[in-house]
Amino acid sequence: MAQNIYDEPGFFGGYSRLERSVHGLAGAAEWPVLRSMLPAIAGLRVIDLGCGYGWFCRWAAENGASTVLGLDISEKMLDRARAATDDDAISYRRANLDELTLPPEAFDLAYSSLAFHYVEDAERLYRTIHHALVPGGRLVFSTEHPIFMASSHSGWMTKTDGSRTWPVDGYSVEGRRVIDWLGAGVVKYHRTVATTVNLLIRAGFRILRLEEFCPTAEQIEANPALAEEVDRPMFLMIAAEK
């Protein structure tokens, strides 16, 4: 069973104050890129894996999706999503992505934002998603970039000249990482870019597009704190087709 850190009160309280929690998709700097990787939503059957507050579920329904299913392991997340949703096209269900089962060819689009790095067996998950998509169906997801999460002690380091750098030790040593983020002992799973892409191919997907998040000049001007994201990619985003 995957760790359910989001139902811990202290962690959930900290998460609730993040920009993306307060402002939804507009508060996620990577959203414009992810949105550009999506197919036309109208008429599609959509599943959101790790739906959180349901921001994407509501966006998909507002843009014409015929049905939207949001899955999350956290009851607190699902409670917040249900409270914010008033649309019969959207349903929510508790699910652990490490143990996920889905019906065959039930969806046209599978979407996930920053959930897959919590999954230990990515190959099993990708195969499950592939099985659940119709031929030509698409998977679009973001995950923490392997460069961002490779080190077991990730964080900025100051060099002798006073400039900062991001350490990338342990990049090829895949597996469990335990970090402190909004709370102690958060468990994630590091995989290289090559492993992620090859597991998708092995599951039967065709890679359509791969992006490594970097803020635009306009985004940095609007939010100067994003300037440090130019020095190391925080998110990996992939669109793949069955």
The DSSP annotation for 107-165 comes to EEEEEEES-GGG-S-HHHHHHHHHHHEEEEEEEEEEEE-HHHH-STT-S-EE-TTS-EE
Asked whether residue 161 is assigned to any structural domain, the reply reads no
Q: In the predicted model, what is the mean pLDDT of residues 151-166? A: 83
Is residue 141 pLDDT above 90, yes or no?
yes
Asked whether residue 130 is assigned to any structural domain, the reply reads yes
Single pTM value for the model: 0.91
Is residue 156 pLDDT above 90, yes or no?
no
Domain ranges, residue 90: 5-143+190-227+234-241
Asked whether residue 221 is assigned to any structural domain, the reply reads yes
Asked whether residue 133 is assigned to any structural domain, the reply reads yes
Is residue 21 pLDDT above 70, yes or no?
no
Tens-digit pLDDT profile for residues 180-216: 665 566 889 999 999 999 999 999 999 999 999 999 9
Q: Per the structure block, which two tokens stand in for 90?
A: 């959207």
How many independent structural domains does the chain possess? Answer: 1
Tens-digit pLDDT profile for residues 163-190: 888 888 889 999 988 876 655 668 899 9
Please tell me which residue, 111 or 175, carries the higher pLDDT value. Answer: 111
Domain CATH number, residue 130 = 3.40.50.150
Is beta strand 175-179 parallel, antiparallel or unpaired with respect to 157-158? Answer: unpaired
Half-sphere exposure of 129 (CA within 13 A, CB side): 35
